[in-house]
């Protein structure tokens, strides 16, 4: 009976939708719970030792693009990325490992380490691009990026600080977003980057890496 098949299919779909919606909401629930926590900076300083193995004791990252500078990044930005790594909404084997529940047991740990990182002195990249597209990159940034990330790329609690970030890391993240390796990258940002030529990407990354240096 076709009508019975349709009714059964409809019932199955309606039964599964709440489960899907619930699963999709878990990262957001965890994120919001972290924001309600009262950070313990002393505990955060103890937790940062694990992060320092890759990001360095000053949170300065690595110039080859493999590890970003994180010191002084906005608290909510750090929390969002940690939660996304924990729930496979952002991919990096090391970060997915060190942000899991064996290393950050719960929302309080995330709040503690994120708060400590956000209060660390900001570092500046020592590596930059060739300078060939530097001026062009500044113009592109001012026209298309500054409205969200700020005129000096200082960011805010929704948008990451980009000023002084490593050139190779910035370039790699833009390419990862364009090639589908950053599932948590905002879709409107991906659409924006799709308008960029290679000179735009290199120029913006070069410009940002030099800000504040």
| Residue 29: pLDDT band with limits 50, 70, 90 | very high
pLDDT tier, 64 (very low <50, low <70, confident <90, very high otherwise): very high
pLDDT of 9 reads: 45
SS (H, E, C) the chain: CHHHHHHHHHHHHHHHHHHHHHHHHHHHHHHHHHHHCCCCHHHHHHHHHHHHHHHCCCCCCECCCCECCCCCCCHHHHHHHHHHHHCCCCCCHHHHHHCCCCCCCCHHHHHHHHHHHHCCCCCCCCCCCCCCCHHHHHHHHHHHCHHHHCCCCCCCCCCCCCCCCCHHHHHHHHHHHHCCCCCCCCHHHHHHHCCCCHHHHHHHHHHHHHCCC
pLDDT in tens, 114-167: 999 999 999 999 899 999 999 999 999 999 999 999 999 999 999 999 999 999
List, for residues 37-46, the tens digit of each pLDDT value.
999 999 999 9
Mean pLDDT of 65-84: 97
Report the C-alpha gap between 195 and 33 in whole angstroms.
Answer: 37
pTM of the model: 0.86
Q: Please, are residues 9 and 79 in contact by the beta-carbon 8 Å criterion?
A: no
Residue 23 has pLDDT above 60, yes or no: no
């Amino acid at each position: 009976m076709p009508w019975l098949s349709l009714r059964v299919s409809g019932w199955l779909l309606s039964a599964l939708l709440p489960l899907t919606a619930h699963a999709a909401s878990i990262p957001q629930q965890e994120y919001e719970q972290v924001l309600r926590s009262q950070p313990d900076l002393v505990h955060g300083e103890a937790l940062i030792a694990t992060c320092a193995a890759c990001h360095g004791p000053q949170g300065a990252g690595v110039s080859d693009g493999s590890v970003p500078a994180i010191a002084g990044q906005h608290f909510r930005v750090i929390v969002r990325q940690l939660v996304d790594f924990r729930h496979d909404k952002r991919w990096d084997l090391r970060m997915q490992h060190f942000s899991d529940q064996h290393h950050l047991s719960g929302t309080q740990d995330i709040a503690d380490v994120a708060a400590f990182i956000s209060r660390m002195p900001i570092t500046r990249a020592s590596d930059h691009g060739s300078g060939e597209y530097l001026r062009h990159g500044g113009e592109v940034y001012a026209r298309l990026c500054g409205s969200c990330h700020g005129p000096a790329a200082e960011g805010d609690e929704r948008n990451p600080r980009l000023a002084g970030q490593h050139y190779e890391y910035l370039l790699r993240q833009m390419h990862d977003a364009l090639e589908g390796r950053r599932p948590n990258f905002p879709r409107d940002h991906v659409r924006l980057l799709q308008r960029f030529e290679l000179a735009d990407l290199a120029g913006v990354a070069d410009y940002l890496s030099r800000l504040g240096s």
